[in-house]
């Protein structure tokens, strides 16, 4: 399953957009995926719930809501490989926290490749690969890379300075 920074939602119901992950999924499975992706509450608050039609590219929804629908697709797909391409970039803190919580659950028992500039999204990864100018310059866990005091530590210090 792939969750990009700017997921594509098509003109149709929210249920149909989630079911893109598994078109044959039951209503119960689709709603469970939405719950796991932390989007069931906002969907159920809409006048037509899961049957609410949205515009192309998720017109009428916030960036965080669109991202959570994309995560629901990934939950529904239940693929052994998950690729997160800046999945929590450009979001407010509340949306980012909800998405991060969903990602932790979704990451269980599968291989996850996370592409991220925001270092707080990768701290718990089993292996972090640091790239510079297209080349691998460091690999390790968060604590190992901090102890190395090289590229990763420099990036983390720069990130903290902007907070």
How do the pLDDT tens digits run along the chain, 163 residues long?
999 988 999 999 999 999 999 999 999 999 999 999 999 999 999 999 999 999 888 888 998 999 999 999 999 999 999 998 987 777 778 888 888 888 888 888 999 998 887 777 788 889 999 999 999 999 999 999 999 989 999 988 887 777 6
Shared-domain flag, residues 114 and 146: no
Shared-domain flag, residues 59 and 131: no
Domain count, the chain: 2
CA gap 101, 71 in Å, rounded: 11
| CA angle at 19 for the pair 15 and 21, rounded to the nearest 5° | 145
Q: Helix 27-36 and helix 63-77: axis angle, to 10°?
A: 130
Shared-domain flag, residues 30 and 107: yes
Strand segments (E) across 24-127: 53-54, 81-85, 111-115
Shared-domain flag, residues 97 and 137: no
For residue 132, what are the domain limits? 126-163
Shared-domain flag, residues 110 and 36: yes
pTM for the whole structure: 0.83
Which among 6, 37, 90, 1 is positioned nearest to 14, based on CA atoms?
37
């Amino acid at each position: 399953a792939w969750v990009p920074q700017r997921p594509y939602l098509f003109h149709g119901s929210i249920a149909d957009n989630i079911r893109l992950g598994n078109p044959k999924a039951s209503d119960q499975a689709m709603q469970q995926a939405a719950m796991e992706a932390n989007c069931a509450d906002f969907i159920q608050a809409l006048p037509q719930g899961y049957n609410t039609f949205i515009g192309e590219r998720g017109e009428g929804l916030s960036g965080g809501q669109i991202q959570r629908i994309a995560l629901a697709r990934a939950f529904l797909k239940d693929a052994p490989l998950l690729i997160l391409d800046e999945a929590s970039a450009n979001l407010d803190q509340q949306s980012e926290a909800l998405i991060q919580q969903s990602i932790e659950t979704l990451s269980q028992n599968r291989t996850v490749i996370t592409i991220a500039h925001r270092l707080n999204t990768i701290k718990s990864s089993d292996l972090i690969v640091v790239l510079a100018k297209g080349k691998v310059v460091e690999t390790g866990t968060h604590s190992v890379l901090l102890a190395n005091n090289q590229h990763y530590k420099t990036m983390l210090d720069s990130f903290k300075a902007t907070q």
